[in-house]
Amino acid sequence: MTAQRSSYGWVVVLCAFTLTFVGFGTAYSFAAFFRAFESEFGASRAHVSLVFSLCALLWFSFGVPGGLLADRFGPRGVCLAGVLCIAAGLAAAAHAGSLGALYAAYSVGIGIGVGLSYVPAVAAVQHWFVEKRVLAGGIAVSGIGAGNLLLPPLAAWWIELWGWRGAYLGLTALTLVLAVPAALLLGGRAAKRAEAAGAALAGMTLRAALRSRLFWLMYGVAMLICVGFFVPMVHLVPYAQDVGLSEAQGVSLVSLLGLGSLLGRFGMGSVADRLGHARSLVAIGAGLGFLFLVWWVATSFWLLAVFAVCFGSLYGGYVALAPTLCMEMFGPRSLSAVLGALYTAAGLATLIGPTFAGASFDAFGSYDVAILGCAVLSFVGAGLAAAMRRYFRSAA
Percent above pLDDT 90 for the chain: 41
Q: Is the pLDDT of residue 52 over 50?
A: yes
Of 323, 320, 314, nearest to 260 (Cα)? 314
In degrees and rounded to multiples of 5, residue 305 shows phi and psi of: -65, -45
In whole angstroms, how far apart are CA 32 and each of 38, 234, 359, 365, 390? 12, 9, 19, 21, 43
Residues 271 and 387 in one domain: yes
Structural domain includes residue 117: yes
Give this prediction's pTM: 0.76
Structural domain includes residue 287: yes
Rounded CA-CA distance 169/340 in Å is 31
Structural domain includes residue 242: yes
Model pLDDT for residues 302-334, shown as the tens digit of each residue: 999 999 999 999 988 887 777 777 777 877 667
Q: Is the pLDDT of residue 190 over 50?
A: no
In degrees and rounded to multiples of 5, residue 68 shows phi and psi of: -65, -40
Q: Among 163, 190, 217, identify where a domain stops.
A: 190
Angle at 319 between CA 143 and CA 137, to 5 degrees: 50
In whole angstroms, how far apart are CA 136 and each of 92, 132, 337? 34, 6, 21
> How much is the pLDDT for 396?
39
| Ordered alpha helix ranges (H), 95-195 | 99-102, 108-126, 133-185
Q: Give the torsion through C-alpha atoms of 132, 137, 142, 147, to 10 deg.
A: 130
Residues 295 and 383 in one domain: yes
1 sits in which H/E element? none
Inter-residue contact 138 to 269 (CB < 8 Å): yes
Over the chain, what is the mean pLDDT? 85
Q: Give the torsion through C-alpha atoms of 195, 59, 223, 217, to 10 deg.
A: -20
Rounded CA-CA distance 257/317 in Å is 12
Residues 309 and 217 in one domain: yes
- Residue scoring higher pLDDT (376 or 119): 376
Q: Give the torsion through C-alpha atoms of 115, 118, 121, 123, to 10 deg.
A: -90
- Which range of 33-42, 89-98, 194-203 scores highest in mean pLDDT? It is 89-98
Q: Is the pLDDT of residue 387 over 60?
A: yes
Which range of residues forms the domain containing residue 311?
203-396
Please report, for the domain that includes residue 263, its CATH number. Answer: 1.20.1250.20
> How much is the pLDDT for 69?
79
381 sits in which H/E element? helix 368-392
Rounded CA-CA distance 340/215 in Å is 12
Rounded CA-CA distance 341/38 in Å is 34
Structural domain includes residue 304: yes
> How much is the pLDDT for 244?
92
Residues 140 and 211 in one domain: no
Residues 136 and 1 in one domain: yes
Residues 158 and 246 in one domain: no
Rounded CA-CA distance 125/6 in Å is 11
- Residue scoring higher pLDDT (3 or 347): 347
Half-sphere exposure of 232 (CA within 13 A, CB side): 35
- For residue 197, name the pLDDT band (cuts at 50, 70, 90): very low
Q: Among 136, 159, 190, identify where a domain stops.
A: 190
Burial class (CB in 10 A: 0-12, 13-18, 19+), 97: exposed
What's the domain count of the chain? 2
Residues 212 and 247 in one domain: yes
Inter-residue contact 129 to 238 (CB < 8 Å): no
Residues 239 and 316 in one domain: yes
Residues 379 and 310 in one domain: yes
Structural domain includes residue 197: no
- Which range of 81-90, 96-105, 266-275, 386-395 scores highest in mean pLDDT? It is 81-90
DSSP codes of every residue in 289-341 = HHHHHHHHH--SHHHHHHHHHHHHHHHHHHHHHHHHHHHHHH-STTHHHHHHH
Chain CA centroid to CA 295, Å: 21
Model pLDDT for residues 236-249, shown as the tens digit of each residue: 989 999 999 988 89
> How much is the pLDDT for 330?
79
Structural domain includes residue 114: yes
